Structure 1
């Protein structure tokens, strides 16, 4: 049996620390949806409360939404996940569409993405996403992202 020397022990500690840092950065990136500047679950809950909701999700979770968004590469696809999951699934007991619009506006602003839309255009996209397939709403990430890209 070999007994590691001081150099090998330091190297093992450095590798362990590097792995810990990497895991931590992956968790942070996923928690922010892969956005350069995301929104925290606490911020979303506060936004929802400001629009009359309880701030507690009744369907899904904003954490899961951000994990889903992280899987996509384009900004518009990531935002489309947020729109679909919050407004489309009616995540909160009240204020879903207003919460969604506020989240999206914050993501555009914080990430320095030029948003040429009027608030009305964004609200229309969010409203269409909240309607569901049977009402002719926007239901896929691709269709929501395409609509976002046009504004």
Structure 2
């Protein structure tokens, strides 16, 4: 259980769609639905918490904002991690499979069906296979073989 040290907050009561009242403390914030947090913030902003004193409303406001801030930070970190993971998946760090046993018999600069690509000759006059997704290397000069 993660605590954000909201010592000024004792209990919060929420009435959900099933018309039952739920009470919870700070440690229960994580188990709330985001809709509950949004509803509580909306009630606070609209001034509908007239049963609370000014100090209680201020404490409640601080608690909700601190919790909301922690959620936003957590989601941004998760988004950043997912972005890095998806970027890592796009980078192919394995050496391309450029040699096949049947390439010696094939004529250079012809198409190859499995995997899709074409056959070219490297500097050593050996036939190599360039897959379709690597064709850009011929035009941008990054082909080093």
So what's the TM-score if we normalise by structure 2? 0.29
Larger relative strand fraction: 2
TM-score, structure 1 as length reference: 0.28
Higher fraction of helix: 1
